[in-house]
Structure 1
Amino acid sequence: MNLLLQTTHSNLNAQIAVTGSKSETNRLLLLQALFPNITLANTSNSDDSEVMQMALSGNEEVVDIHHAGTAMRFLTAYFAVKDGREVVLTGSSRMQERPVKILVEALRQLGADISFLKEEGYPPIRIKGQKITNSKVTMAANVSSQYISALLLVAPKLENGIELTLEGEITSIPYIKMTLALLNDLDIQTSFEGNIIKVYPKQAVESKVMTVESDWSSASYFFSLAALSDEANISLTSYKESSLQGDSALVSIYKEMGVETQFNDGTITLTKTKKFKHNDVTFDLNNTPDIAQTIVVTCLGLGIGCHLTGLHTLKIKETDRLEALRIELSKLGANISVTNDSLTLVATSEINSNIKIGTYNDHRMAMAFAPLALKVPIIIENADVVSKSYPDFWDDMEKLGYKVSDLVG
């Protein structure tokens, strides 16, 4: 499905109910599988969370998680500690290019029985669930936080818990803290001192309803829309001022690009600051790499430059996001350069119109570029890829006055 996006006005006024956080949902789904007396509310309706739920509730010998990277990491750890259960965990062709060796080696340190069925270090993998008694494990600190969270989430069910030593500078600390906070909400004891994280064993928890906060990564596209609008009053539910999600840094980041955020009883309202002078911006996104695509597209639309660092994990996402951004932004007339962990955009006042944006089976490519339709008509290829994290995205764009046209062919 290719969609032509265009709009006749740049005054945005709407109230949007954003689906629950995929990051929180997938963590809580795994914890619910370990502790079935937990009840979940406001869970994500994303493809990734549905795939995760099906894998946890099924009994298949082959578990195919398609494009769901979070599910691949979390389920690798989950099945490794399910004593007596044997599965083959696989995914899409792109998923079979995304490394899991670091996580597998960490689980092997604990005594897990995992083997690679095709290329060493990559899915598909065969997992023979074991009773794990070892507790000490060491891992590089600059790896995807999902590897770390995968270990921490299963730790309460291990006989001796986990003592995880991280070597080097830690990446994506907010996501690690999110995992630990969810464990603490269940009265599971944890500690995070220096580079050592401990999770203590707990065989049972009290019955509890866990409500998932709406997804801040999904909110990023509305921050971008507000920044690119002439006038905006966009309300989003349900959000917490003291969020567990690292991407809540959007509030301070977009303040530098002319967007004010007000919190009121679980709702955030985004407004465009009048007479705001836009300057080039520099951000370290080491803790929030998932919003890099949104930010650079916003900067292009505002006619400002940006320098973004801390992006090394983007190369192993649904696509190599840095290279994908370089290719697609260049089509629009941008002067952009990328390295292994950074991106630099030079300010330009001209944007090419009616350009087809490739999405590379990456939901964030589709959604990050959509706000540019406030400036020029734009075509999003394979637009239904948004279902991976935000199935209602195009409907919500129409609520903001977008004209969304399905192009045949």
Structure 2
Amino acid sequence: MRLSVQPATRLTGHATIPSSKPETQRAILTATLARGRSIVHNDLRCTETTAMKNACRGVGASIDEQDGRLEIQGVGRDLRTEQRIIDAMGSGLVFRVFAALSCFATSPAIITGDKILRGRVMAPLFDALRSLGARIHCIGDEGHAPVVNWGGGLSGGRCVVPGNVSSQFITALMFSAPLADSPTTIAIEGEVLSISYIRQTVEAMRRAGIRVEHAEDFSGVTVHPGEYQPIEYRAGGDFTSSSYLIAAAAIFPGTTVLSNINSRSLQGERAIVDVVRALGIEVSFDDRNDTLTLVNQRGELSGDYEFDASDFPNIVPTLAAIGAYVKGRFRVVGGSITRLHKSPRIKAMVSELGKMGVNIKPLFRDGVYDGFEIHGDGQFNGGVSLSSWGDHRIFMSLFVASLRCRTPNLLDGYQDVHCSFPDFFEQFKRLGVAFDEVSVGETPAPVATLRSA
């Protein structure tokens, strides 16, 4: 089955943004590492937060899922791995964090994940952990999941990781460091990308009473031994998820109101608001009521723009969808880290938007995909089949880009929205967007009634 995305002419209405995935995952993890009862309000429930909850339950945490909140009975330092296997599914953060935390488990554990995760880069984390005393071995290909961690703890000290591969390496080392015998210093070499995610980790740990110090430029982080304290935390809205609705509001005339979103956020992807404001969209936050209003009076975008996405890489595919409809020059740089995400995201968007007829070319830095340049248009013919490359963020970005085509596009991978935005289709439906499932080989037809995929 594929999804037929029907052309739209105007977007207007009220939609709700899902809660933040990184904030929810960090809150669940922090609560697990504290001994006692914690409460996480407004949590996101999706495939990847489920993977985090299951992994935390796998080391002994009790997690009660109530309406609008989680009650978590943490285990402190008593990490029990009687089940022997922790399955991170497709979550890189879950795998990386538990590859580190299982150093302190009461018995050996295998940490694994799905096919895509098993192909992702993990070697720098394993090397850093071994330098701190970890006994961790790859079961299959060296430098990749799955691994077996034999336990025995970490001594602390100094380790080194690159700053341009994954901020999750740093987050994993940081979360495990308070359990070590002595302070742990993480030296981060080279350019440090996705700093906003490291800031979120620092904030989560400090709220739980852990002493964390870092250089202003995050070239180094030191975490001191300590005991995690129970927390009461409220997750905010997810700016990466909001980017798809914000992007749609930017390419169509109308007024869109989004709920569960607040300007006070450490998320780097909050930059999507600054991007569309630069494009001429009227943007106003109401933080008291957690709403964002976007007014697009023109309906057409034009001008020359350049954005550095090094601190908000998750919206690089969304920016490509917007850029397709900017008459002028639309450049995005600083996205090299996205080649190591669920798919090589710049390459994927260049390929799929090219099928639509978009004038897009990749930009390279040091021989790797770093961004793209688009000379956009107001509309494209459509009627093409597009691939998500097995990546939920590619699918959602292509969904938005397809809305302004003259005829429906067919997209695969629509089930993957459950990774981060389970009610993606329902929220777009509320704005008047039409779509329908079609069988492979079936000719798309106009949709008389809306239904979620």
Q: In the alignment, what sits opposite 2:66?
A: none
2:391 matches 1:369: no
Q: In the alignment, what sits opposite 1:140?
A: 162
SS of the residue 1:66 aligns to: coil
Per-residue CA distance 1:199-240 (angstroms, 9 max, x = gap):
2222241x3311111111000011101111111222221x23
Q: How does 1:52-71 map to 2 (within 5 A)?
A: 52-58=52-58, 59-71=82-94
Letter in 2 for 1:234: V
SS of the residue 2:203 aligns to: helix
C-alpha contact (below 8 Å) 1:308/1:343 kept by paired residues = yes
Q: In the alignment, what sits opposite 2:371?
A: 342
Q: Give the whole-Å Cα distance in 1 for the aligned partners of 2:243 and 2:299.
A: 22
C-alpha contact (below 8 Å) 2:210/2:227 kept by paired residues = no
* Residue 395 (structure 1) shift: 1.1
Q: Give the whole-Å Cα distance in 2 for the aligned partners of 1:254 and 1:134.
A: 44
SS of the residue 1:184 aligns to: helix
SS of the residue 1:278 aligns to: strand
Change (3 A) 1:281 1:204: closer
Per-residue CA distance 1:311-353 (angstroms, 9 max, x = gap):
1111111111122112101100022222322222233445231
Change (3 A) 1:173 1:125: same
Q: Give the whole-Å Cα distance in 1 for the aligned partners of 2:264 and 2:8.
A: 37
Q: In the alignment, what sits opposite 1:23?
A: 22
Where in structure 1 are there 5+ consecutive unaligned residues? none
2:197 paired residue among 175, 180, 199:
175
C-alpha contact (below 8 Å) 1:30/1:74 kept by paired residues = no
1:79 paired residue among 102, 120, 145:
102
C-alpha contact (below 8 Å) 2:11/2:248 kept by paired residues = no
C-alpha contact (below 8 Å) 1:19/1:42 kept by paired residues = no
* Residue 372 (structure 1) shift: 2.6
Q: Give the whole-Å Cα distance in 1 for the aligned partners of 2:382 and 2:164.
A: 39
Aligned length: 405
Q: How does 1:9-408 map to 2 (within 5 A)?
A: 9-14=9-14, 16-36=15-35, 37-58=37-58, 59-82=82-105, 84-194=106-216, 195-205=219-229, 207-237=230-260, 239-264=261-286, 265=288, 266-274=290-298, 278-338=302-362, 339=364, 340=368, 341-376=370-405, 377-408=408-439
* Residue 60 (structure 1) shift: 2.6
C-alpha contact (below 8 Å) 1:228/1:374 kept by paired residues = no
Q: Give the whole-Å Cα distance in 2 for the aligned partners of 1:354 and 1:300.
A: 16
* TM-score normalised according to structure 2 size: 0.85
* Residue 146 (structure 1) shift: 0.9
Q: Give the whole-Å Cα distance in 2 for the aligned partners of 1:190 and 1:62.
A: 30
* Residue 287 (structure 1) shift: 0.6
* Residue 291 (structure 1) shift: 0.3
* Residue 365 (structure 1) shift: 0.9
Change (3 A) 1:406 1:134: same
Question: Kindly, what percent of the aligned residue pairs are identical?
Answer: 25
Letter in 2 for 1:40: V
State the Cα RMSD in Å.
Answer: 1.8
Letter in 1 for 2:53: Q
Q: In the alignment, what sits opposite 2:445?
A: none
C-alpha contact (below 8 Å) 1:251/1:260 kept by paired residues = no
Change (3 A) 1:303 1:374: farther
SS of the residue 2:148 aligns to: strand
SS of the residue 1:94 aligns to: helix
C-alpha contact (below 8 Å) 2:112/2:118 kept by paired residues = yes
Q: Give the whole-Å Cα distance in 1 for the aligned partners of 2:377 and 2:263.
A: 35
Q: In the alignment, what sits opposite 2:79?
A: none
SS of the residue 1:159 aligns to: coil
Per-residue CA distance 1:227-273 (angstroms, 9 max, x = gap):
11111222221x23220211111121111123232121122222225
Q: Give the whole-Å Cα distance in 2 for the aligned partners of 1:141 and 1:318.
A: 18
